[in-house]
């Protein structure tokens, strides 16, 4: 399969990146991050989550963040919604696109959203109905597509029915998440081969965490499988509170560098993106997790 000429990057740093941080991060710092990212040319930014603050305290200020960001034309500002309450809160905050999240393993589903996979799919149905009534699009996630922190290796055959269920209920795109970052390029190719029999490739996305250092190879393997949407996190921020030891998503700067080298267009300015990543890394008092940003700032 030939490589695409254009790839869309879904920036999940303000949500997946920050949700795991124990230290308080001010609304102003979150807003600045989102604004820096939109100014760098990201066209899709996951800004926050309308989840229970008991489960993920860091996302509690998501409504305030939404009301303070500068919304640029042509940029999608999205949020996670685990249930109808989350969708209603998102709508009240003016959110125009939400994402629901399921898992391919029962163990992770229970720990992350306190219900079974089939219960979660049922819980999403009223979200889909209400979203449709308000004319907003819903993206779907499947977590633990290559491995689970509680159950070990996960087969593509476990992922396909969950991805299909999300697609069938109306998710316009289904993002497959290697939550613990244990998958290899071979696993990734097989995953998309199997899932693409149920959901068209054009409606699938790759979401790779870099725990085992495989994320960039997995993005390349996905490109070879005809996938052209990837989730990434500026400065490689993040992890999932219910997947111990999982590092951040692949750094947006590093995916962008790969894509530029392949002559694939994204519309993102690498220098401005690096500046955004450096700023939030300083706020958090962390080393920048992007190899490209580290290399560039050492020059
Ligand atoms: P539960 O405890 O079963 O639900 O949680 P509940 O209905 O019994 O509610 C418990 C309390 O939460 C109640 O408050 C509710 O009002 C409140 P109380 O009466 O005890 O004071 N509540 C809410 N508050 C605010 N917003 C809401 C909401 N819903 C209930 N929407 C629930 C079930 C789904 C709510 C919970 O498990 C939850 O919020 N989980 C979210 C976990 C999460 O955000 N994980 C990280 C995102 S997923 C991820 O990172 C993976 C991804 O990146 C892809 C990948 O890498 O694989 C997407
Ligand atoms: Mg994730």
Taking only the tens of pLDDT, the chain with its 299 residues reads 789 999 999 999 999 999 999 899 999 999 999 999 999 999 999 999 999 999 999 999 999 999 999 999 999 999 999 999 999 999 999 999 999 999 999 999 999 999 999 999 999 999 999 999 999 999 999 999 999 999 999 999 999 999 999 999 999 999 999 999 999 999 999 999 999 999 999 999 999 999 999 999 999 999 999 999 999 999 999 866 777 777 889 999 999 999 999 999 999 999 999 999 999 999 999 899 999 999 998 87
| C-alpha to C-alpha distance for 219 and 212, rounded to whole angstroms | 14
For the Cβ of 62 lying below 6 angstroms from any atom of ligand 1, the answer is no
The CA angle 273-295-290, to the nearest 5 degrees, is: 50
**How far are the Cα atoms of 265, 271, 283 from residue 260, in angstroms, in the given order?**
7, 13, 28
Decide if 240 is catalytic. Answer: yes
Q: Ligand 1: which of 19, 50, 52 to mutate, judged by most atoms within 8 Å of the beta carbon?
A: 52
For the Cβ of 237 lying below 6 angstroms from any atom of ligand 1, the answer is no
- Could you tell me the end-to-end alpha-carbon distance of the chain, in angstroms, rounded to an integer? 37
pLDDT at 245: 72
| C-alpha to C-alpha distance for 229 and 16, rounded to whole angstroms | 17
Q: Strands 147-148, 152-153: parallel, antiparallel or unpaired by DSSP?
A: antiparallel
Instruction: Tell the CATH topology of 8-298.
Output: TIM Barrel (3.20.20)
Ligand 1 atom 33: residue of nearest CA:
113
| C-alpha to C-alpha distance for 293 and 22, rounded to whole angstroms | 24
Tokens matching residue 142: 């499947």
Query: Per DSSP, what are the bridge partners of residue 230?
Result: 9, 206
Query: Around Cβ 48, how many Cβ atoms within 10 Å?
Result: 30
Non-local CB neighbours of 285 within 8 Å, separated by 6+ positions: none
Ligand 1 atom 51: residue of nearest CA:
143
pLDDT at 184: 98
| C-alpha to C-alpha distance for 237 and 18, rounded to whole angstroms | 7
For the Cβ of 58 lying below 6 angstroms from any atom of ligand 1, the answer is no
For the Cβ of 248 lying below 6 angstroms from any atom of ligand 1, the answer is no
Q: Write down the domain spans for the chain.
A: 8-298
Tokens matching residue 162: 């969950």
For the Cβ of 207 lying below 6 angstroms from any atom of ligand 1, the answer is yes
Give the alpha-carbon dihedral of 5, 11, 16, 17, to 10 degrees: 110
What ligand is nearest to the CA atom of residue 176?
Answer: 1
Helix axes 156-168, 185-195, angle to 10 degrees: 40
Q: Report the length, in residues, of the chain.
A: 299
Ligand 1 atom 37: residue of nearest CA:
113
Q: Which residues of 176-193 are buried (b: 16+ CB within 10 A; e: fewer)?
A: bbbbbbbbebebbbbbbe
Helix boundaries (H) for 45-137: 62-68, 84-92, 106-113, 117-133
pTM summary value? 0.97
What separation in Å is there between the alpha carbon of 128 and the centre of ligand 1? 17
Tokens matching residue 50: 């309308």
| C-alpha to C-alpha distance for 232 and 222, rounded to whole angstroms | 14
pLDDT at 247: 80
Helix (H, G, I), strand (E, B) or coil at 147: strand
pLDDT at 163: 99
User: How many Å separate Cα 182 from the centre of its chain?
Assistant: 17
Contact between 162 and 174 (Cβ < 8 Å): no
| C-alpha to C-alpha distance for 25 and 196, rounded to whole angstroms | 39
What ligand is nearest to the CA atom of residue 144?
Answer: 1
For the Cβ of 83 lying below 6 angstroms from any atom of ligand 1, the answer is yes
For the Cβ of 85 lying below 6 angstroms from any atom of ligand 1, the answer is yes
Shortest-distance atom of ligand 1 to CA 143: 57
What separation in Å is there between the alpha carbon of 42 and the centre of ligand 1? 27
Ligand 1 atom 35: residue of nearest CA:
52
Q: Which residue has the tokens 């070879």?
A: 224
The CA angle 31-231-40, to the nearest 5 degrees, is: 45
């Amino acid at each position: 399969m030939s490589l695409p000429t254009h790839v869309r990057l879904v920036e999940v740093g303000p949500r997946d990146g920050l949700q795991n941080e124990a230290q308080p991060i001010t609304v102003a710092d979150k807003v600045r991050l989102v604004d820096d990212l939109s100014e760098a040319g990201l066209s899709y930014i996951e800004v926050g989550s309308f989840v229970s603050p008991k489960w993920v305290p860091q996302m509690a200020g998501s409504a305030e963040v939404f009301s303070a960001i500068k919304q640029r034309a042509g940029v999608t500002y999205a949020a996670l919604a685990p249930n109808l309450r989350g969708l209603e809160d998102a709508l009240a905050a003016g959110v125009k696109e939400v994402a629901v999240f399921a898992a391919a393993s029962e163990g992770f589903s229970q720990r992350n959203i306190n219900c079974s996979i089939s219960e979660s799919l049922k819980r999403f149905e009223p979200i889909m109905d209400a979203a449709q009534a308000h004319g907003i699009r819903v993206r779907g996630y499947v977590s633990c597509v290559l491995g689970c922190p509680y159950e070990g290796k996960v087969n593509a055959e476990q992922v396909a029915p969950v991805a299909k269920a999300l697609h069938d209920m109306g998710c316009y795109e289904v993002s497959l998440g290697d939550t613990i970052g244990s998958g290899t390029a071979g696993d990734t190719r097989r995953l998309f081969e199997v899932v693409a029999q149920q959901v068209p490739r054009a409606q699938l996305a790759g979401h790779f965490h870099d725990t085992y250092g495989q994320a960039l190879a997995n993005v390349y393997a996905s490109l070879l499988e005809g996938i052209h949407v990837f989730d990434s996190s500026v400065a490689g921020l993040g992890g999932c509170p219910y997947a111990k030891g999982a590092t951040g998503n692949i750094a947006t700067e590093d995916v962008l560098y790969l894509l530029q080298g392949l002559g694939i267009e994204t519309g993102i300015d690498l220098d401005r993106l690096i500046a955004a990543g450096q700023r939030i890394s300083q706020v958090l008092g962390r080393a920048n997790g992007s190899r490209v940003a580290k290399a560039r700032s050492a020059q």
